[in-house]
Structure 1
Amino acid sequence: MTLENAFKTGPAFKNSFNVESFGLVQGDAQDDPAVRLLLAAGVLADDVVGSMWGGMGIIESVPKSSEAMLGAVIRQATATSCNGFMVMNQANHGVVTPNNGVPQFMAGNGVHYYRLGTGARIPLPISAAVAALANGTTSTTSTQFKWDPAAQVIDVATADGISIRLLKVSPAGNMAAVQDATTKDVNWEDKPMGLFSI
């Protein structure tokens, strides 16, 4: 008679209602008691064009003194300036419509974000160059990154990148927000994602 390994980890029993999920959801910051209280709130600037959603790079600006109680003023990040990332956490008021499955926020809406340097772990869309770093030998601190506002992805920076660390690449099974160039509808698609410590 052989004894079973009581500590063996294996798949769930058949028909046990288990749904396996290995993917990431863009802008859904990972639970972490050490950084959850660093979640910041602000208001999208009146000059923000179109909509914004979780997982987008942002620029945090100092508000007017008369509006300081609302939090910082938030704008879209540029190719040369990014000091945080919007997240879906506690963003229960994002607008979802039949044509737009991703919760969106317009000018004047309140949003939540993490500043660079907080250590928050956030899934972000990545370029093919970033996905190629998942080779088992690249150090998590050896690459500089940048936010590409045109493609709405994190890309490899050649100089003056933002200081974030790539922890993991998830090539498939993800939910990435993708905006249709013609209709401007924003829906979920399966695209490569990276888990970054910002």
Structure 2
Amino acid sequence: MDGAGRKEKKLNTLITIVSIVVPVVVAILFGVKIPNVERLGFLPPIYASINALTAFILVIGLWAIINGKKRLHHNLMTTCIGLSVLFLTMYIAYHMTSDSTSYGGEGAVRYVYFFILVSHIVLSIIIIPLVLKTYSFAYLKNFKKHRKWAKVTFPIWLYVAVSGVVVYLMISPYYVS
């Protein structure tokens, strides 16, 4: 195996570990409540805004690569990964200090909400290895595979970012102050 093959194998191992550990840790921490700590109820609109910003930057990143602005594209995608980590940190902090909010809508809109929520959650788990693998192909300068994977990764990542905002907007009237 050549140097590039070893590098890709190491990255694949790391991607697999991160893709398993992150959802497991989030699930565990979601059930942990820190006692006697001030509720971080101000975070949901902030992390919803981070999702909106991520969606916007993803679209600008697509525009950048279509227009041959590779360095800008790289910087924007790296920023989106950073924003996703920031979102996740705030999301965990909120849920470790606050009880989950129940959706109060009724009728058909309730089913729409839960469809969006469940698809958002499932795809937010799936997107972790997709983003990391797509990014790793660019890092390894395998742009043919990077483009192929990006065609799948981009729309899912965009959906996760946008649906996160929609979920927030739909549940925000039911947050307890």
Q: TM-score, normalised by structure 1?
A: 0.22
Higher RCO, 1 vs 2 (CA within 8 Å, ≥6 residues apart):
2
**TM-score, reference length from structure 2:** 0.23
> Which structure: greater helix fraction?
2
